[in-house]
Amino acid sequence: MQDLISIGIIAPISATFKHSADFFKLTRQYISEALPKDIYKEPSLVSDKEGNDRLNRIIGGLVDSDVVVVDKTDKNPNVMLELGMRAAFDLPFVLIQLESQEYPSVFKMQDIIPIPNTNDESTINNFKARLLEKGQPSCQSPQ
């Protein structure tokens, strides 16, 4: 039996100036629902990794995850720092962002999967399908 693929998540965990903590919790739920449990471990925040202090937990989560899903919504500084660290380690990641937002980024050339800003089931399922497609380690290479 093949080892399950580990997915780390880099995302805001509290409210931002535009979105509630529940918004980000729902996005993490979509990520979890998109990934079949027979192939993927349950996704978790990279900061949930065990360690002596927060920085070591984050670094451990960044390095130990096979793929990291990064929610760039609202361009949270902590998220951007962790994304930069993951990219510096030359490890695979998938970018997601609320579809109604446009931010300049050094990762412009990277495909960004838009997070639906709707409760439309078809749109949500499309997001999950794209995430599943991009969440496979063999499909990833940071640009």
Could you read off the pLDDT of 93-128 as tens digits, one per residue? Answer: 999 998 776 655 666 567 888 898 888 899 999 999
pLDDT of residue 70: 95
Half-sphere CA count of 57, side-chain side, radius 13 A? 13
Mean pLDDT of 28-33: 95
Q: What is the DSSP letter of 40?
A: B
Domains of the chain, each with CATH number or no CATH: 7-139 (3.40.50)
Amino acid at 74: D
**What's the pLDDT tens digit per position in 38-85?**
999 999 999 988 778 888 999 999 999 999 999 999 889 999 999 999
Q: Which residues pair with 8 in a beta bridge?
A: 44, 68
